[in-house]
Amino acid sequence: MGATDKTVADIEIEAAQWLLRKESPKWSLEDEKELNAWLNASTSHRVSFIRLKSAWQQTPRLKRSDTLSSQFPQQKHSPRSKRGIANSTSIHRRHPGPAAALGVLAAMALVISSAMLWQLGIDRAPRFHTPVGGLSIIPLEDGSVVSLNTDSAISLKMTSGERRINLLRGEAFFDVSKDPARDFVVYAGTRKVIAVGTRFGVRINHDSVQVAVTEGLVRIAPETRLIDRVPGLRKDHATDSNHFLNPGEVATADGNLVKVDRHTIGNVEQMLGWRSGNVLLQRVLLKDAIAEFNRYNRRKLVLAQQDLGNIRVGGNFKTENIDGFVRLLEQGFQIHASEHNDVIVLSR
């Protein structure tokens, strides 16, 4: 490693400061010499400098062509303009940002700088998804952070009154930044989870929604608008109470019923171990363990005999470590595994 104990982050900060200094009109020959000395001190310095510079020096290209600039005057702050530009987007992003309306205008073969559209204050509801085996960290503008687990999807709508997340599919963890003026609300299935300055996870299963809290307090309320639309769910059932969840508590909301289990916070953190790439199996049935591994991997585990699925298994595994799990089954339970075309068949 390098001669010093500096982290890449430390070196990047130094490189960024050098790049800023170099842009100042007071840049002198002396400064140039100092910069060269710093660059020569370690190749790591040079790498970070090149990496930052290559993106930074291109940013002026975001200044758009004359046709657009003349229509949209430069302003210091983004105005609330309501232009009718088509709102379709074909860009999947993992970070929130202003609109990128590439509808009609893209057809005109202009590269629309979304930076331009940001200046127009165009709103949209950003959507994020992860592939199977994926894990994404999405920082929000209010300082909250959303962690998105495998094969999951959310959409965001941050307004002045509410910070709203729709969990469309899968599982996410929310590290919510305190904002007394706006509730942080996660809509999932027939429920909404309301929080102010907390840390909690939400998971959509086939027929239920699970909420696990590690810090702070959350309130689970029925999302009545959705319930109205679901045939067979009567309104009086839907007015079941709000449920408050404390750290260590895990609620499973299934149709009309909400069941709350109490665990230690450490235990809940382990259940949310996917954030560090781990899956915890706590003496679960093999068929459930298999279902869990299959969420994270393209290679799927399948049971040849259904009664095998009732064996109890446990352990803490890396989510992608199907091979390790299978090896343990072979050694510990005399289960035989054969793989073909991304399917691993377990039999005995």
209 residue type, one letter: V
Question: From the CB of 13, what's the least distance to other proteins, in Å?
Answer: 6
Of residues 117 and 209, the one with the C-beta less far from other proteins: 117
Q: Could you give the CA distance from residue 196 to residue 185 in angstroms, rounded to a whole number?
A: 9
Euclidean distance between CA atoms 297 and 199, whole angstroms: 27
For other proteins, which is the closer residue by CB, 4 or 347?
Answer: 4
Instruction: Pick between residue 167 and residue 253 the one whose CB is nearest to other proteins.
Output: 167
β-partners of residue 302 are 345
Least distance between other proteins and beta carbon 206 (Å): 24
CB of 336 to other proteins, least distance (A): 20
CB of 77 to other proteins, least distance (A): 8
**Cβ nearer to other proteins, comparing 54 with 241:** 54
By beta-carbon proximity to other proteins, the closer residue of 2 and 266 is 2
Smallest separation (angstroms) from other proteins to the CB of 260:
28
Residue 13 or 238: the one with the smaller Cβ distance to other proteins is 13
Give the N- to C-terminal CA distance of the chain in Å, as an integer.
49
- Alpha-carbon distance 110 to 181, whole Å? 40
Contacts (Cβ under 8 Å, ≥6 apart) of 28: none
Nearest alpha carbon to residue 233 among 222, 243, 242, 244: 222
SS (H, E, C) the chain: CCCCCCCHHHHHHHHHHHHHHHHCCCCCHHHHHHHHHHHHHCHHHHHHHHHHHHHHCCHHHHCCCHHHHHHCCCCCCCCCCCCCCCCCCCCCCCCCCCCCCCCHHHHCCCCCCHHHHHHHCCCCCCEEECCCCCCEEEECCCCCEEEECCCCEEEEEECCCEEEEEEEECEEEEECCCCCCCEEEEEECCEEEEECCCEEEEEECCCCEEEEEEECCEEEEECHHHHHHCCCCCHHHHCCCCEEECCCEEEEEECCEEEEEECCHHHHHHHCHHHHCEEEEEEEEHHHHHHHHHHHCCCEEEECCHHHHHCEEEEEEECCCHHHHHHHHHHHHCCEEEEECCEEEEEC
- Nearest approach in angstroms of CB 18 to other proteins is 10
Minimum distance between the CB of residue 255 and other proteins, rounded to whole angstroms?
33
Least distance between other proteins and beta carbon 219 (Å): 22
In angstroms, what is the minimal distance from the CB of 9 to other proteins? 5
Q: Which is nearer to other proteins, 244 or 333 (CB)?
A: 333
Nearest CB to other proteins, comparing residues 52 and 260? 52
**Residue with smaller CB distance to other proteins, 224 or 321:** 321
